[in-house]
């Protein structure tokens, strides 16, 4: 991925499928490499109240502090909120949405 290229990185429902520390590190490294200083990350992951699996796969669930810690000190939390998502099959999934800004 190009270095310092993107002003916005949007992830809804990818990061929570990365359940191993090494997968999360690789994602974070690519994110920080590709996002411009001052660039924004909008990320939606499963909140701690969400089911432990989705589509038959295990997921990592987060609260704000856990997600901030995993993503690292180079991203400053600007906003966050939770939202209850109802799947087409009628299952409830609590999502955590966060907006971070990459520090210069």
Question: Residue 1: inside a domain, yes or no?
Answer: no
- pLDDT at residue 77, rounded to an integer: 98
- Reply yes or no on whether the pLDDT at 104 is more than 90: no
**pLDDT at residue 103 is higher than 90:** yes
- Residue 93 within any structural domain of the chain: yes
Asked if residue 50 lies in contact with residue 93, where contact means CB atoms within 8 angstroms, the answer is yes
Q: What is the pLDDT of residue 80?
A: 98
- How many domains does the chain fold into? 1
Measured between alpha carbons, how far is 41 from 35 in angstroms, rounded to an integer?
8
Q: Which residues, other chains included, contact 4 with Cβ-Cβ below 8 Å and sequence gap of 6+? A: 33, 34, 35, 36, 37
Q: Per the domain annotation, does 59 fall within a domain?
A: yes
pLDDT tens-digit readout, 36-76 = 999 999 999 999 999 999 989 999 999 999 999 999 999 99
Q: What CATH number corresponds to the domain at position 57?
A: 3.40.50.150
Looking at the chain, the number of H-run helices and the number of E-run strands are 2, 6
Query: In which domain, by residue range, is 83 found?
Result: 6-102
Q: Does the residue 63 lie in any domain?
A: yes
Q: Is 31 part of a structural domain of the chain? A: yes
Q: What angle do CA 79, 28, 72 make, to 5 degrees?
A: 55
- Whether the per-residue pLDDT at 81 is higher than 90: the answer is yes
């Amino acid at each position: 991925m190009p270095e310092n290229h993107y002003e916005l990185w949007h992830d809804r429902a990818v990061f929570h499928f990365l359940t191993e520390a090494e997968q999360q590190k690789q994602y974070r490294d690519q994110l920080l490499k590709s996002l411009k200083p001052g660039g924004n990350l909008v990320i939606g992951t499963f909140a701690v109240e969400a089911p432990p699996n989705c589509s038959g796969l295990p997921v990592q669930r987060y609260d704000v502090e856990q997600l901030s810690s995993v993503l690292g000190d180079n991203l400053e939390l600007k906003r966050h909120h939770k939202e209850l998502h109802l799947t087409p099959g009628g299952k409830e999934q609590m999502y955590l949405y966060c907006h971070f800004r990459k520090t210069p």
